[in-house]
Amino acid sequence: MSKKIVGRVREQETLNDALNSHRSELVAVYGRRRIGKTYLVREFFGNRMTFSFIGLSAGKRADQIKNFMLKLNEVTDKFKEEKQPEDWLEAFSYLKAYLKGKRETKKKKVLFIDEFPWVDSHKSGFLAAFENFWNDYCTTRNDLVVVVCGSAASYMVEKIINNTEGLSKRITQTIKLKPFKLREVRDFFAYKGIPMEEYEILKIYMVLGGVAEYLEHVKKGESAVVTIQNLCFKKGAYLEDEYDQVFKSLFKEGSYHQRIMDALSQGNKKGITREEILKALDISSGGRFTDSLEELMQSGFVLKYDAYRDNTKTTLYRIYDEFCLFHLQFMVPFKGAKWTQIFQKQEYKTWCGYAFETICLKHAEEIKKALKCDQIQSKNYSWHNKKAQVDLVIDRDDDVTNLCEIKFYNDEFSMDSGYLNSLRNKENQFRSATKTKKGIYTAMLTTWGVKSNQYSTAILSNNLTMHCLFEQV
């Protein structure tokens, strides 16, 4: 494990397995832009890196090949007098020749192709040439680790991981790099020498999510409010144009990606149906829409999840990326304003509830651990009918169902008789609608917990705080 890499324990174990295997390995790494893919690969392999090359974001084939050869000439003088390759087959023949000059050893040599989808432009021939390079040469050796990386998740899944042609079943390891969890953000700030309370970390996470590159710009001694003002609202702020740049770099023009995000941001924050998205876009379902929605899910921007009304299952979609939701909710309508004033508005307090709920959905395993049921299989979903709604249902295989009430509050929450009756109504409505015979236990998860009084002790089986979301699972 590299001391310079915070978290990413399972991912490092996967890369370590590739280094220590008895064969050459083809590793696919993908995840949203700025998540830390390149940093992970470079820091983990370090001086094992024999050759690395990153695609140009908008380069034509000749430019990409020239870039490839420039990188190859940095590690060998063998081809400096050679003419520029005319196509990718010829370019990869140079890479083969370079590798043949390095004797086969037990110590693995790492080849890294970053932003693979950028290189494989229309009619470039890059993917076919790479397939040939792997099948014709790399598999004849036992000492190579070839890492291909990309931010365009849909491309990486369709063309690399689920490839049915030259790379069919050739990927030996796959890493989908996800945003940091809350505990990893805490560890990241500690590594950078930024002491910060968990409540402040939570407020920053609600805006920036666990995107490593965004978190790099958090400064020591600044509150969450000041951090958000400086990164999002100050003139020329680092994240001022980030939303548009992300979508421009990942998705084709004329697709439905941003329109879908707009529809989700304007609908019920808990999620809307596919039919409601289509209605908001005023279009009929088709391949372009379906592909756009699927790509948003694969990239981690949208969550598809189950919700139940009485006993009827509904599939809902909601924005799952914290920064995208924040951008659409505040940076667009309040452009030019000051966050130091906006955060005191009721809009922010309402939004905090939805943002906190989304974070809790991402940390469902941490919640289960706090409930001491993390070793038990369960279905997790939301539930509602006309008379009640439950933020998170943990329907367990041990004949117990936890109804989790999630509430973002800036202090310890005090329950009164009205709130007690509301929770009892949820239990009764859930049991009546679902006809369940399981034991129903109500838990509350709030930022600072619930004050112990006659009302809370009468109904709560578990009184959880935000601190449980920071625990290791």
**Of the candidate ranges 101-105, 127-131, 233-237, 355-359, the one whose mean pLDDT is the lowest:** 101-105
Mean pLDDT throughout 292-305? 92
Q: What angle do CA 259, 265, 266 make, to 5 degrees?
A: 90
DSSP code at position 469? G
The crossing angle, in degrees rounded to 10, of helices 9-20 and 37-45 is: 50
Sorted by where each begins, the domain ranges of the chain are 9-176, 242-331, 365-470
The neighbour count for residue 79, using CB atoms within 10 Å, is 16
Residue 107 to residues 3, 18, 102, 144, 465, Cα–Cα distance (Å): 21, 11, 12, 9, 47
- The structural architecture, per CATH, of the domain 242-331 is Orthogonal Bundle (1.10)
Please tell me if the domain spanning 9-176 has the same topology as the one spanning 242-331.
Answer: no
User: For residue 63, what pLDDT is reported?
Assistant: 96
CATH architecture designation of domain 9-176:
3-Layer(aba) Sandwich (3.40)
Tell me the residue type at 74. Answer: E
User: What is the distance, to the nearest Å, from the Cα of residue 180 to the centroid of all Cα atoms in its chain?
Assistant: 8
pTM across the whole model:
0.91
Which backbone phi and psi does 205 adopt, to 5 degrees?
-60, -35
pLDDT exceeds 70 at position 1: no
Give me the sign of the Cα torsion angle 243, 248, 253, 256: negative
**pLDDT surpasses 70 at 459:** yes
Burial code of 12-50, b = ≥16 C-beta within 10 A, e = fewer?
bebbeebeeeeebbbbbbbbbbbbbbbbbbbebbeeebb
What CA–CA distance (Å, rounded) separates 322 from 151?
18
DSSP 8-class letter at 252? -
Checking if the pLDDT of 437 tops 70, the result is yes
pLDDT over 90 for what percent of the chain? 88
Checking if the pLDDT of 134 tops 90, the result is: yes
Q: pLDDT-based confidence at 41, cuts 50/70/90? A: very high
| CB < 8 Å & 24+ apart, contacts of 381-387 | 381/305, 381/306, 381/307, 381/308, 382/270, 382/305, 382/306, 382/307, 382/308, 382/316, 383/307, 383/308, 383/309, 383/430, 383/434, 384/307, 384/308, 384/309, 385/309, 385/310, 385/429, 385/433, 387/425, 387/429
Token output for 281: 């876009």
Which structure tokens are listed for 300? 């981690």
Coil, helix or strand for 304? strand
Amino acid at 34: R
Chain mean pLDDT for the chain: 94
Provide the pLDDT for residue 255.
80
Distance (Å, whole) CA 415 – CA 61: 65
> Which residues does 128 contact at the CB level (< 8 Å), separation at least 6?
88, 166
Mean pLDDT of 210-224: 95
Mean pLDDT of 6-23: 95
Distance CA 178, CA 341 (A): 32
Tell me: the pLDDT tens digits for 139-172? Answer: 999 999 999 999 988 899 999 999 999 898 999 9
Cross-strand pairs, 23: none
Q: What pLDDT is recorded for position 185?
A: 97
Determine contact, residues 415/376, Cβ cutoff 8 Å.
no
Rounded Cα gap, residues 133 and 26, in angstroms:
12
Distances (CA, A) of 44 to 2, 40, 170, 260: 6, 6, 23, 37
Residue 252 has pLDDT above 80, yes or no: no
Model confidence at 281, in pLDDT bands (50, 70, 90)? very high
Give the three-state DSSP class for 297.
helix
Encode pLDDT of 386-432 as tens digits. Answer: 999 999 999 999 999 999 999 999 999 999 999 999 999 999 999 99
How far apart CA 182 and CA 79 sit, in angstroms, is 48
CA dihedral 394, 397, 398, 399 (to 10 degrees): 70
Q: How far apart are CA 374 and CA 388, in angstroms?
A: 27
Judge whether 267 and 278 are in contact, CB under 8 Å. Answer: no
CATH code given to domain 365-470: 3.40.1350.10
The DSSP symbol for 232 reads: I
pLDDT class of 254 with cuts at 50, 70, 90 = confident
Question: Distance between CA 331 and CA 337 in Å, rounded?
Answer: 9
Task: State the maximum Cα–Cα separation within the chain, in Å, rounded to a whole number.
Answer: 84
Using DSSP, state whether 272 is helix, strand or coil: strand
Residues 257 and 251: beta-carbon distance below 8 Å? yes
Q: Does position 230 have pLDDT exceeding 70, yes or no? A: yes
